[in-house]
Every structure is written in C-alpha cells, then in structure tokens.
A and B are shown apart, each in its own frame.
Chain A
C-alpha cells in the first residue's frame, strides 16, 4: 500500500484482509450481471448520442421524448382504474393503511402507486412504496427465518402500458428464461428465471402476469424458501391490485425556486428491512433538481434516535430541519460547491423551509398535492 495512511501498518493490513474476506464471501448469490444486456444498452445510448449530434432532427426527437414523458402515466388525471381482482381473503390483508387512500392520480404528487399487495403470507406485511423516475414499486417484507439471516422481501411492479417485458424493456434482463406458470386470475403468467430448468429459487424469483387492463405486473421475491414458494407467489399475485393512485404524504411545498424540475424520485414506506412495527418507524422523501443539483424534502416521526441521526448527518450534508407537528422535516441540498444562485435567492434551505407545509402524524390529514 502506498501513500499516507491513518492506521499503522499492522492495522491497515488487518483492515485490508478483512475487507477482502468480506468481499470474497463464499455464499454470495449468483451474479445477475449481464454483459450482453450491457452491450445492448450501451449501443442504444450510443445511437441516441449519434442522433443528438445529427442536429435538428435529433432535437425534434428529444422534444417528442420529453412530451411523451410529461404525458406519461403519472401525469394523467384519468380516474383510478378498476381493481384488477378482488381483495384477497380478509384474514390475509395486511396492506399499508398509512400509505394508501384510494384516489385519483394527482399530477402534483411525486409518488404514485401502480399496484398494491393484497394477501401476504403470515409474518409478511406491506411496507409502502418507492419510486425512481416513473418507476414505482410496492414493497413488502417479513421477518427472517431463525438462523436464515435474510428476511423475505417482495416487490410489486407494473410495466407501463404497451411494454411487454418478454419482448423488450424487462427490468432484469438476466432473467431471460420464461417457464410456464398457472394463469393468474385467468390471465397469462410465467416465471422469469436465470436458469432454464428452475422456476423459483431461494435467492430471487420473478413471476409475471398480465393484469385485466393489459399491463404486465411483476412480483419479485427474495430469500423465500423454495418449498411452497410457487403457490405462495401465485396467491400473492392473484390478490394484488393493479391500479394507479396517488400516495398521500404528510408534507408539501407551496413554492419552488425558478428552474426547479421534478425528477419524480422518492418513497413513502415503513422501514421495510426492520422488525419494528411501531407507529414511528416510517419516512417519506421526495426529490427534485435545481439547475442540476439535487434537493430533497424528507419527513419522519420525531424520536430521540432519528433526531440524533439527523444531527450526525448534519456534519456532512447541507440541510435545514425543523421539528413540526411531531415530524422531523428536512430540506437537503446535495452539491459540491456553493449553492446555486436560485437557491440563495429563495433564502437558501431555511428560506425554502418556510414554504413547507406539515400535515402531522395522522394519515387522514395528509395530501396528494405535494408539489406546486
């Protein structure tokens, strides 16, 4: 090792050895890295870049793309679609009441649900939603089996209308084999796998089926024991609801600096990796960009522990926080250099915080009109 170190040689060597041991763990799951898919995606990006260089024609194409994005499913004001299937058995419903009040899609809400869990296995509960761009996942998790180490995780995702993941656009290209599965509510279904002869595994399994509105839904299960897994996943799929709706949130912001653009990322969820089912174990975050810099608004119930964590974070992030109505509410700016002029003109993070409304801890009071 060269250069200045902050450990003496023996400690540095020990750390290097232990990092190596951690990275070379023998029980790592099979790799999902797909080099042909990377080549395919890289070629697509190269083609896109070439088109941009072509000039006017490319500009027209880019504009069309932007229009298409803005007109995408999240921006529709169409009424909520009918439920895909009836709710699962009442004794199995453990939906995230905190996160779902069925309603219309609100173009001012950055977090949307495209699917909800219905029945879930004993010990597993729905935790909320996470969103990146236009992609939204419903999340559920259970407790880890004694001695197993990993908790069961479930994700529910709906492809945009017109996208058939068997043809193009699958989120996980390494799951390239399609093995027959029983129909889900009378509609086509299949297992997507990375092995030609193995529909499910205890590391990761993927069931796809076509919902009643034609969209393809996808259930991903991780760390679920293989015995009984197929019937469990089929039951989860059959009771899931495919429908677009806005997710109410406990905060909103009434004004954004000029130049702000939504990047439609964020999440609203209970801590889905935790066994803590208390009323304070949840958080929301939404993000947008200001002249290329990331700004986010987060809220979580005030507790001494989360409060202390926020104070630790303050050492390496630029943030302004207030405790209001039982919530720790923070605006966070991520940028290497000084804040953009537009943020300074708005009074900085503290100034922006004045435009944040807080709706308290009771979900009945929350709003879907989150962004101006």
Chain B
C-alpha cells in the first residue's frame, strides 16, 4: 500500500471508529432492534469507505455518514418482506430500562411508517433543521414538515393512548373488493 493510501486508510479507520457508536444508536432508534442497527451501521460504514476518497475532503463527512445510514434504513424497509414484518411484527422489548415512558416511546416510534420515523429521529435526536433533514432524505422541506407533523401526531396519540389506557378505536368494517 502506498503511503498516501495508508494515511487515507488510517484516517478512515479513525473516523469510522469514532462515529460507529453514534451511527449505531441512531440506527437503533430507526430500526428498534440492535441486531438490525448493527447491520445498518455496517452497511453505512462500508459505503462510507467506498466513497472515502471524496468524503474525507468534504466539509461535513458526518452529514454524509448520516445520509448513508438513513438511505440504508429506508432501502431495507422497502423490501417486500420487511414491509410485511413492519405490518405485523411486535418486536420484543429489550431489557433496556425499567422506565415505562422510554419503552412506550420505543413502541410508539416503531409503529411509525419508516419516513415519519426517519424525520422524527433526524429532527429530534440528530437535532437537524428542516432544511438539513430534507437534504439528508433527498426530499423537499415541505415533505419533512408534513412527515414530521404526522409522526409527532401519531407519537402523541400513541403515548396518550397508553398513558390513559383509552380503548382502541373501533375497527373498520369488512369491505370486499379493491381498496387502492
């Protein structure tokens, strides 16, 4: 390996090692389980290495790493099998804490559609502005605003439902036929 390659490699290794825990925690908020969080982080870091010659000259390599992680998450959620799992899975609650509110939040977050979850995490965990979140998700600021609003509304309703033990809304009646 040439000296410059070695230096570039060392730079990458240092950057990746320092950012991996942060990426993993973010991935956990997105996916709701640590196993998937590890997979998403691994995918993001691999992609980061692939583009490192360009990325390490950027002003904001953290932003690139974050974008890569969110892309990996959304791509994974687009697979048909994942979509069905999202529809039905009730992932086990990790023995992470005995604070009920945190567990409630985890469940409520997991129930959000992927893009709403992504915008909520970007805005309130990563603390990005609407414009920065839009750049990360490659969408318009208006989309970020609407997705965030829906996500927050759903979170609020889910958490209120749990805290007040309100009965669930009545189920929709059976309808035969197409429902596009």
B21 at the interface (CB under 8 A from A): yes
Interface string of B153-180 (1 = CB under 8 A from A): 1010000000000000001101111111
| Contact yes or no, B28 A310, CB < 8 A | no
Query: Which listed residue, B80, B120, B129, touches A2 by the CB 8 Å rule?
Result: B129
Please report the C-alpha to C-alpha distance between residue A42 and residue B8 in the assembled complex, in whole angstroms.
13
Interface 9-residue window, one of A26-34, A55-63, A77-85, A234-242:
A26-34
Interface range, A side: 35 or more
Which B residues touch A267, using CB under 8 A? 81, 84-85
| Chain A residue, CB-CB nearest to B47 | A42
Q: What is the CB-to-nearest-CB distance from A127 to chain B, in angstroms, rounded to a whole number?
A: 12
Query: Which listed residue, A31, A223, A286, touches B21 by the CB 8 Å rule?
Result: A31
Please report the C-alpha to C-alpha distance between residue A18 and residue B93 in the assembled complex, in whole angstroms.
16
| Contact yes or no, B92 A144, CB < 8 A | yes
| Contact yes or no, A283 B88, CB < 8 A | yes
B89 at the interface (CB under 8 A from A): yes
Q: What is the CB-to-nearest-CB distance from A268 to chain B, in angstroms, rounded to a whole number?
A: 9
Please report the C-alpha to C-alpha distance between residue A29 and residue B84 in the assembled complex, in whole angstroms.
26
Query: Which listed residue, B41, B52, B97, touches A25 by the CB 8 Å rule?
Result: B97
Please report the C-alpha to C-alpha distance between residue A21 and residue B101 in the assembled complex, in whole angstroms.
10
Which A residues touch B34, using CB under 8 A? 28-29
Report if A322-B177 is in contact (Cβ < 8 Å); known contacts: A33-B42, A309-B87: yes
Which A residues touch B99, using CB under 8 A? 21
A316 at the interface (CB under 8 A from B): yes
A41 at the interface (CB under 8 A from B): yes
5 contacting pairs across A/B (C-beta < 8 A): A2-B129, A4-B145, A18-B102, A267-B85, A304-B171
A contacts, CB < 8 Å to B:
1-7, 12, 15-16, 18-29, 31-35, 37-39, 41-43, 45-46, 130-132, 144, 148-151, 204, 222-223, 265-267, 271, 273-274, 281, 283-287, 294, 296-298, 300, 302, 304-311, 313-314, 316-323, 332, 334, 348-350, 353
